[in-house]
């Protein structure tokens, strides 16, 4: 189709060319048939004229011979009734003949028909007659005289009458009237006004007769100029092949074309020569007429061609436009994302060179929506799509010509921004992005998805798109750690990144290889008794050694391995603790940390309750620790899951309380049983007044909502004292015990049980 588009105008040109060629060839053939038509018509006409004129002349010659002989040879005497007999003869053909006369060889008029009342007694006195009369005396045949006006135009014919000795004894003359109502040629038809028939005398080049009005007036007075006559004769001789036989056998018509002078221009016609009466019968048509006639036809052809060309042009233009539109659309599609209509990766790749060459420095922001997968999973893809579309619309509305926004994939966007002040640009871009993420409405719901932004700079962090993308991606992962934040690339992140990649690879299958195991950290109540344990996961790699959960939980979450790891943690903890409880016939609480990713999985609550049932652990003995950050991601969904668990009897603890974004309204809304004061507050509680205030606040909030308060990271007795004074119920920290493996925990329980005194005691279920 592309080739077609390229060639469509070539095709059009070809069409125009071939139709022009067609027009030319049709026109040429039309011209040929037109000239052929007029040639044949003229030929017929000339033959008709020639035949008719010849036969009347032959007839006249017979009449003149018979009449002359009759009048002159019968006796020496002239008959008395000579005039009466001439009159009789004339009356036989009153239409054609305008008179007869008998003339002596000396030119004296012996007798004439009574209609010819002339005082001419010797015709040799008339100069126009002299030549032909003299010629008549010399020859045997009838001789035509020059046409003259009497007042009608007449053609005189003379025939010398000879005695037995061959001497001329008189000349019989008859005048053929050629014009007028009953003139011989008055009936002579021509093809039209454009056609002229001429009878040209070959002896003296005078015109015997011509049909053209313009010439009729005086054609008989002047001979044809010798040069013109010569030219015409030359041409008639040169036309080697006679066009065809004339009407009468033995006579040939010759088609010719000659330059008839300025007035008439080129003329074409047919000529027939009469050798006896020595005249040319010529039918002519001016080329100008033929050209005019042809142009009329040609104009209609041209009009048709033009109409055809114009309609073809319109059609081709239409096709071309459609094709161009299609191409534009295809190019657009190839370079844009179908959902958001934003430029896509392809576009980024194809325009990146321009950015590199035109902008000395710019920043690339890699934007990744936090927990967009959760939105898709829980609300359906149409809502996810709606959010993306709205987000793209908002982004687009605020980007300037110095910026480019690209949908890089799923919930990832790339934002290029250039300008002199880079810090300011980056801030502007980040602010724009966060604004765009705020309060997006989709299907009557409002979402404010968080997003993590990684920034890399050209050219410091990479001279190629790949390098920049990688650097910004690394920075983005750094931002992801905190979620909903911005991080700029710095070389040290690269090490983290590489390590992260390494951890991701090594972590795969670590559960099966037995590298993952659980530790438990006791939680102590105000009375110093074991309240419960928090399950904390450990990974011991054969080469890397012990890797802290901070380093691999995030990796598992981001690489999609958290579901499996989380299940392993749950199974291990439930199994081990339940075994322990059964062995010692006692009951204490088990707290398990649950990652966002686990919560996002479908049927998490149902699966968890099933596991409890399978192990045989009482529902109220389990506490799930969730972080505040989990709540900002997708509150609606988590509320449902928490509600299910809570109504089944599972306790819910809010971990790291005070470090995140959760508001009081969230607390009121959710079924939370326990708040965990983050260890950062606890470690500063002695030195920092704000931390102390914060701790007091948390405890107050817990009271209001009737939640248990657990302080974690308690390392000193002093800390415990203050916390106790503030009203804290539960404690966890190195002051009491470090996290320990299950056999160590078993020993811990035994030790604690055997310890006397009120410090720590174990609730026994028995």
Q: Does 406 bind ligand C2E (CB under 6 A)?
A: no
By CB under 6 A, the residues from 485 to 514 that bind ligand C2E are none
What is the secondary structure of 193-207 as a DSSP string? TTEEEEEEETTT-BE
CA 290 – CA 297 distance, rounded (Å): 11
**Cβ at position 679, least distance to ligand C2E in Å:** 6
Minimum gap (Å) between residue 699 Cβ and Ca ion: 16
Smallest separation (angstroms) from Ca ion to the CB of 629: 12
Query: Of the two residues 105 and 554, which places its CB atom closer to ligand C2E in the complex?
Result: 554
Contact 645, 622 (CB under 8 A): no
8 Å CB contact between 203 and 278 = yes
User: Facing residues of 412 across strands?
Assistant: 368, 409
Taking CB under 6 A as the rule, does residue 99 contact ligand C2E? no
Looking at the Cβ atoms of 156 and 739, the one nearer to Ca ion is 739
- Residue 24 parent element (H or E): helix 2-73
**Contact indicator for 505, 498 with CB cutoff of 8 Å:** no
Q: Does 569 bind ligand C2E (CB under 6 A)?
A: yes
Q: Which does 275 bind (CB under 5 to 8 A by kind): ligand C2E, Ca ion, none?
A: none
Whose CA is closest to 468, among 355, 347, 336?
Answer: 355
- Kindly state whether residue 593 participates in binding ligand C2E, applying the rule CB under 6 A: yes
CA distance 548 to 539: 7
CA distance 483 to 486: 8
Region from 33-41, 171-179, 623-631, 752-760 binding Ca ion, contact rule CB under 5 A: 623-631
Sole window of 40-48, 170-178, 184-192, 549-557 interacting with ligand C2E (rule: CB under 6 A): 549-557
- Of 207 and 617, nearer to ligand C2E (C-beta) is 617
Cβ proximity to Ca ion, 23 vs 553, nearer residue: 553
User: Minimum CB separation from ligand C2E for residue 612, in Å?
Assistant: 17
The pair of structure tokens assigned to 379 is 């609300």
Which one of 415-423, 428-436, 592-600, 630-638 is the stretch in contact with ligand C2E (CB under 6 A)?
592-600
Nearest to residue 599, comparing CAs of 546, 670, 689? 670
DSSP sequence for 110-177: EEE-TT-----SBGGGSHHHHHHHHHHHH-SS-EEPPPEESSSEEEEEEEEEE-TTS-EEEEEEEEEE
H-run or E-run covering 699: helix 689-704
Min CB(730)–Ca ion separation in Å: 13
Binding to ligand C2E, residues 690-729 (CB under 6 A): 712-715
Yes or no: say if 157 and 174 are a contact pair by the CB < 8 Å rule: yes
Q: Binding of ligand C2E at residue 591 (CB under 6 A)?
A: no
Six-digit token string for 364: 């690339």
Q: Is 537 in the site for ligand C2E (CB under 6 A)?
A: yes
Position among 258, 630, 733, 749 found at the interface with ligand C2E (CB under 6 A): 733
Residue 734 as a binder of ligand C2E (CB under 6 A): the answer is: yes
Question: What whole-number distance in Å separates Cα of residue 353 and Cα of residue 437?
Answer: 30
Binding-site member from 535, 600, 612, 695 for ligand C2E (CB under 6 A):
535
Q: Could you tell me which residues come within 8 angstroms of residue 538 by beta carbon, excluding any fewer than 6 positions away? A: 516, 517, 518, 519, 546, 549, 739, 741
Query: Which of residues 351 and 683 has its CB atom nearest to Ca ion in the complex?
Result: 683
Residue 113 partner contact from Ca ion, ligand C2E, none using kind-dependent CB cut-offs of 5 to 8 Å:
none
Task: Say which entry of ligand C2E, Ca ion, none residue 451 contacts (CB below 5 to 8 A, set by partner kind).
Answer: none
Q: Please choose which of ligand C2E, Ca ion, none residue 713 contacts, taking the beta carbon within 5 to 8 angstroms, the exact cut-off set by kind.
A: ligand C2E
Q: By CB under 6 A, how many residues form the interface with ligand C2E?
A: 24
**Contact in structure between 504 and 496 (CB atoms under 8 Å):** no
Site string for ligand C2E, 652-691 (x = CB under 6 A): ---xx----------------------x------------
- What does 535 interact with, of Ca ion, ligand C2E, none (CB < 5 to 8 A by kind)? ligand C2E
Separation CA 574–CA 617 (nearest Å):
7
- Nearest-angstrom CA–CA distance, 147 and 153: 6
Sole binder of ligand C2E in the list 113, 521, 572, 578 (CB under 6 A): 521
143 binds, among ligand C2E, Ca ion, none (CB under 5 to 8 A by kind): none
3 state SS of 266: strand
Measured from the CB atom, is 230 or 548 closer to ligand C2E?
Answer: 548
**Residues 626-655, mask of contacts with Ca ion (x by CB under 5 A):** -----------------------------x
Q: Which of 343, 374, 454, 739 binds ligand C2E (CB under 6 A)?
A: 739
Residue 238, token pair as written in the block: 């040169």
Distance between CA atoms of residues 247 and 397, nearest Å = 95
**How many Å apart are CA 408 and CA 149, to the nearest integer?**
108
CB of 625 to ligand C2E, least distance (A): 6
The contact pattern for Ca ion, residues 573-612, with x = CB under 5 A and - = no contact, is: --------------------x-------------------
Regarding 577 and contact with ligand C2E (CB under 6 A), the answer is: no
Cβ nearer to ligand C2E, comparing 426 with 625 = 625
Judged by beta carbon, residue 199 or residue 536, the one nearer ligand C2E is 536
Measured at the alpha carbon of residue 544, what is the angle toward residues 542 and 547, in degrees to the nearest 5? 105
d(C-alpha 2, C-alpha 326), whole Å: 10
| Residue 522 binds to ligand C2E (criterion: CB under 6 A) | no
Under the binding rule (CB under 5 A), the answer on residue 132 touching Ca ion is: no
Q: Is 628 in the site for ligand C2E (CB under 6 A)?
A: no
Nearer to Ca ion, 154 or 622 (CB): 622
The distance from CA 270 to its chain's CA centroid, rounded to whole angstroms, is 62
Angle at Cα 628 formed by Cα 622 and Cα 631, nearest 5°? 95
Report what 365 binds from Ca ion, ligand C2E, none; CB cut-off 5-8 Å by kind: none
Minimum gap (Å) between residue 612 Cβ and Ca ion: 19
Q: Which stretch binds ligand C2E (CB under 6 A): 332-340, 374-382, 455-463, 590-598?
A: 590-598
Q: Contact between 732 and Ca ion (CB under 5 A)?
A: no
521 binds, among Ca ion, ligand C2E, none (CB under 5 to 8 A by kind): ligand C2E
Residue 550 as a binder of ligand C2E (CB under 6 A): the answer is yes
Instruction: Please report how close the Cβ of residue 566 comes to ligand C2E at its closest, in angstroms.
Output: 6
331: number of Cβ within 10 Å: 12
SS3 sequence, 492-535? HHHHHHHHHHHHHHHHCCCCCCCCEEEEEEEEEECCCCEEEEEE
The helix-helix angle for 287-335 and 2-73 (nearest 10°) equals 170
User: Taking Cα atoms as reference points, which of 281, 288, 230, 284 lies closest to residue 257?
Assistant: 284
Site stretch for Ca ion (CB under 5 A), options 34-42, 424-432, 619-627, 665-673 = 619-627
List 656, 674, 729, 752, residue binding Ca ion (CB under 5 A):
656
- Both structure tokens of 639: 């509320």
Q: Which of 478, 511, 557, 625 binds Ca ion (CB under 5 A)?
A: 625
Distances (CA, A) of 114 to 39, 110, 126: 45, 13, 20
- 198 contacts Ca ion (rule: CB under 5 A): no
Strands 486-488 and 516-525: unpaired
> Residue 121 and residue 125: Cα distance in Å, rounded?
8
Q: CA 753, CA 748: separation in Å to the nearest integer?
A: 8
Residue 413 in tokens: 């966007």
Per partner kind, with CB cut-offs from 5 to 8 A, the member of Ca ion, ligand C2E, none near residue 136 is none
The binding site for Ca ion (CB under 5 A) comprises 593, 625, 655-656
The binding site for ligand C2E (CB under 6 A) comprises 521, 535-537, 548-550, 553, 569, 593-595, 625, 655-656, 679, 712-715, 732-734, 739
């Amino acid at each position: 189709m592309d080739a077609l588009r390229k060639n469509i105008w070539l095709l059009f040109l070809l069409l125009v060319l071939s139709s022009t060629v067609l027009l030319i060839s049709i026109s040429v053939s039309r011209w040929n048939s037109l000239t052929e038509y007029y040639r044949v018509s003229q030929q017929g006409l000339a033959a008709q004229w020639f035949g008719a004129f010849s036969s009347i002349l032959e007839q006249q010659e017979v009449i003149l011979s018979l009449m002359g002989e009759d009048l002159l040879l019968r006796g020496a005497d002239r008959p008395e009734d000579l005039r009466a007999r001439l009159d009789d003869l004339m009356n036989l053909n009153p239409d054609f003949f305008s008179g007869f006369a008998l003339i002596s060889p000396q030119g004296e008029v012996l007798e004439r028909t009574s209609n010819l009342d002339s005082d001419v007694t010797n015709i040799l006195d008339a100069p126009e007659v002299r030549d032909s009369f003299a010629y008549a005396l010399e020859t045997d045949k009838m001789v035509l005289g020059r046409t003259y006006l009497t007042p009608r135009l007449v053609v005189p014919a003379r025939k010398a009458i000879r005695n037995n000795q061959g001497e001329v004894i008189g000349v019989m003359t008859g005048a053929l009237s050629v014009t007028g109502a009953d003139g011989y040629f008055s009936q002579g038809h021509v093809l039209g006004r454009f056609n002229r028939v001429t009878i040209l005398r070959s002896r003296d080049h005078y015109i015997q007769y011509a049909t053209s009005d313009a010439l009729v007036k005086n054609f008989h007075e002047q001979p044809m100029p010798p040069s013109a006559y010569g030219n015409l004769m030359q041409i008639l001789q040169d036309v080697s092949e006679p066009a065809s036989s004339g009407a009468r056998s033995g006579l040939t018509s010759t088609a010719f074309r000659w330059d008839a002078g300025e007035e008439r221009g080129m003329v074409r016609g047919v000529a027939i020569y009469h050798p006896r009466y020595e005249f040319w019968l010529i039918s002519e048509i001016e080329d100008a007429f033929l050209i005019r006639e042809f142009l009329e036809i040609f104009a209609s052809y041209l009009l048709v061609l033009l109409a055809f060309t114009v309609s073809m042009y319109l059609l081709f233009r239409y096709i071309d436009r459609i094709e161009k539109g299609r191409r534009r659309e295809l190019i657009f599609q190839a370079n844009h994302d179908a959902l958001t209509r934003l430029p896509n990766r392809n576009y980024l790749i194809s325009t990146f060179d321009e950015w590199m060459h035109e902008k000395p420095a710019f920043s690339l922001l890699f934007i990744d929506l936090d927990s967009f997968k959760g939105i898709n999973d829980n609300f359906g893809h149409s809502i996810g799509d709606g959010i993306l579309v709205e987000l793209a619309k908002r982004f687009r509305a605020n980007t300037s010509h110095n910026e480019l926004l690209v949908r890089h994939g799923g919930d990832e966007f790339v934002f290029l921004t250039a300008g002199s002040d880079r810090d300011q640009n980056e801030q502007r871009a980040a602010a724009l992005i966060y604004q765009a993420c705020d309060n997006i409405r989709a299907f009557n719901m409002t979402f404010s998805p968080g997003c993590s932004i990684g920034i890399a700079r050209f050219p410091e962090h990479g001279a190629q798109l790949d390098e920049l993308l990688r650097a910004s991606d690394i920075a983005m992962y750094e931002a992801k750690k905190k979620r909903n934040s911005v991080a700029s690339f710095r070389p040290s992140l690269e090490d983290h990144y590489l390590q992260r990649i390494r951890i991701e690879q090594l972590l795969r299958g670590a559960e099966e290889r037995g590298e993952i195991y659980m530790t438990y950290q006791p939680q102590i109540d105000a009375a110093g008794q074991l309240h419960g344990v928090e399950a904390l996961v450990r990974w011991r790699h054969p080469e890397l050694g012990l890797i802290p959960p901070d380093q691999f939980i995030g990796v598992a979450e981001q690489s999609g391995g958290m579901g499996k790891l989380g299940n392993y943690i749950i199974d291990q903890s439930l199994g081990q603790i339940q075994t322990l409880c059964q062995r010692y016939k006692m009951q204490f609480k088990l707290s398990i940390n649950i990652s966002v990713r686990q919560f996002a999985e479908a049927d998490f609550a149902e699966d968890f309750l099933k596991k409890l049932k399978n192990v045989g652990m009482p529902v109220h003995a389990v506490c799930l620790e969730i972080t505040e950050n989990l709540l900002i991601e997708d509150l609606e969904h988590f509320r449902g899951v928490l509600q299910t668990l809570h109504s089944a009897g599972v306790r819910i603890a809010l971990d790291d309380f005070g470090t995140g974004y959760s508001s009081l309204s969230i607390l009121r809304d959710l079924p939370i049983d326990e708040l965990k004061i983050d260890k950062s507050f606890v470690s500063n509680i002695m030195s920092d007044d704000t931390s102390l205030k914060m701790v007091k606040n948390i405890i107050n909030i817990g009271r209001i909502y009737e939640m248990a308060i657990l302080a974690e990271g308690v390392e000193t007795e002093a800390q415990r004292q203050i916390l106790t004074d503030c009203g804290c119920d539960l404690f966890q920290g190195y002051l009491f015990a470090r996290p320990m493996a299950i056999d160590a925990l078993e020993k811990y329980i035994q030790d604690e049980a055997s310890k006397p005194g009120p410090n720590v005691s174990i609730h026994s279920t028995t």
